[in-house]
Amino acid sequence: MIFKQFSKTVLLLACFTVWGISAKAQGDAAKGEAAFKSNNCTSCHKIDARSTGPALGPTLASETDDKWVAKWIHDSQALVKAGDKKANDIFNQYAQTVMPSFPGLSDGDIADILAYVRADWKKIQDDKAKAGPAAGAVVEDKGPSNLAVYALIGVIVIALIIILVLNKVIATLERLLSGKRLLPVEEDEVVEEAAADKYALLKRVIKNKKLVFFILFCGTIAMGSWTWVILWDTHVPQGYQPVQPIKFPHDLHAGVMQIQCQYCHTGAFKSKNASIPSLNVCMNCHKTVKTESPEIHKIYDALGYDPETQKYDSLKARPIQWIRIHNLPDFAYFNHSQHVKVGGIKCQQCHGPVETMKEVYQYSPLTMKWCIQCHKRTDINMKGNKYYENMIAVHDLIKKGVKVTPAQLGGIECGKCHY
């Protein structure tokens, strides 16, 4: 009887579980895609990337309360005004951007949309898993894992124990061969010996040549490894984050506001240096935005700008003493435009997720090894690239026996000499 009751309970729980899973999985993905596009959701949302709103794929993959999601889609501001913590967190995270209400969508329509988003996100994840590392992505060199380090230490400790045991066995065998007693030395004799000579134990250790060799060998390896790491990391300021004269939140500008990097760092697209934006670029927005902020007033003071009269006084103007973060040695030549414009590399590949940084720091080591690894792993896309198309055209001319001048290979570009 007890077994039957237990079986019924288990079956009942299993049925509820299957029903719950099927309830979440219900919905037609094809209808959901049509509803997603017809309601213009694509103008604010992407499946795999953050836009005006969050990336829907990872967000809905972790969100299990579909009823709450339906309430949010129907009227997000009603949840915010009702004091819903989750709704207010999202509202504040996206700079209080109001999501349009969709009261005309039924619960079935929303279920279809959620099914489409989750299915599409799963497909994207599966495609990435099959394709492996994305083209142009640099695999971070993290060095040895903690498990490998602990395993090495464990091997050393075990080896030390084995040596001590073997030494004990060898000493016993030597006494046996020499006809000496095999019984251990009495405790009182050891105490008397230690009292007579307090360095007796140390002398016995020193006389053990195998143990001394093992200690010196391990010490040499440890000191050599430590020296190698110190020398290798010399002048590698990874993680360097100086205090700047003005606190510029990149996570707000590049993250929440979605301002493109080249809007401020215009040189990255057309010259060797990315260039520090002039304060006039800041004034494009901050002449009217956040005028009460003390950090913005530092910009006004540097420009000699009076926000009340909206006039500039050049006599009061002074430069901002920005502190450089990324700095290569003088013998290393790096051209931003060659990588950004020709190579199509995103800023984040070298500078890290700047759009999430409150204050920018040096994300990558910028060592020669790091650059070489990138050059070995990055695939070159020559289609539609004027630089490589010109190179192929020049090679075709060489094959035909036509004379080629340095100018055709970019020899008259300013950056070839003036860098």
CA 328 remoteness from chain centre? 21
Residue 5 located in a structural domain: no
pLDDT, residue 246, reads: 93
pTM of the predicted model over 0.85:
no
More confident residue, 21 or 105: 105
Among 141-150, 199-208, 235-244, 323-332, whose mean pLDDT is lowest? 141-150
For residue 218, give its domain range: 146-232
Looking at mean pLDDT, say which of 152-161, 355-364, 374-383 comes out highest: 355-364
Classify residue 338 by its DSSP letter. Answer: I
Q: Is the pLDDT of residue 69 over 80?
A: yes
Which among 87, 107, 131 is the end of a domain?
Answer: 131
pLDDT digits (tens, 9 = 90+) for 342-375: 888 899 999 999 999 999 999 999 989 899 999 9
Which among 103, 131, 159 is the end of a domain?
Answer: 131
Name the nearest CA neighbour of 63 among 83, 38, 90: 90
The CATH number that applies at residue 104 is 1.10.760.10
Residues of the chain with pLDDT > 70: what percent? 83
H-assigned helices in 39-145: 56-62, 66-74, 76-81, 85-93, 107-131
Q: Is the pLDDT of residue 170 over 50?
A: yes
Residue 419 located in a structural domain: no
pLDDT, residue 80, reads: 82
Q: Is the pLDDT of residue 195 over 50?
A: yes
Residue 222 located in a structural domain: yes
Residue pair 176/182 in contact by the 8 Å Cβ criterion = yes
Note the residue count of the chain: 419
pLDDT, residue 132, reads: 57
Residue 119 located in a structural domain: yes
What's the CA dihedral at 176, 180, 183, 185 to 10 degrees? -130
Same domain, 115 and 35: yes
